[in-house]
Amino acid sequence: MTFAFFGSGEILIALVVGLLLFGGRLPEIVKQVARYFGEAKRTMADIRRETGVDEVIRDIRADVDRAAGPAQKPQSESPDSDSAIEQDSTQTGQ
């Protein structure tokens, strides 16, 4: 599990504060919070499935892909982008 916005120092401080506030009940409280998060995740998945939002998003992505045609690399990722710029500047006389 990654904690993108929390460093090890912040996590350690949170654990110490949690231990001071809740003492021996901390494992029980963590389990309860995990249950709530799991229930919320299941509820959101049910809502998305019932409303068909996932299908709509999939359809929109397919439409965008079809409209865009073949995938084009951005100029910065193209291996010949530097040489194309050099050729363009030599042709214009710069």
Rounded to an integer, the average pLDDT of 47-57 is 88
Write the pLDDT tens digit of every residue in 3-30: 567 788 988 898 888 888 888 888 888 8
Q: What is the largest CA-CA distance in the chain?
A: 77
Question: Bigger pLDDT: 80 or 34?
Answer: 34
Rounded to an integer, the average pLDDT of 53-63 is 89
pTM value?
Answer: 0.43
DSSP letters of the chain?
Answer: ---TT--HHHHHHHHHHHHHHHGGGHHHHHHHHHHHHHHHHHHHHHHHHHHTHHHHHHHHHHHHHHHH-S----GGG-TTHHHHHHHHHHHTT-
pLDDT score of 22: 83
Question: Bigger pLDDT: 59 or 75?
Answer: 59
- The overall average pLDDT reported for the chain is 77
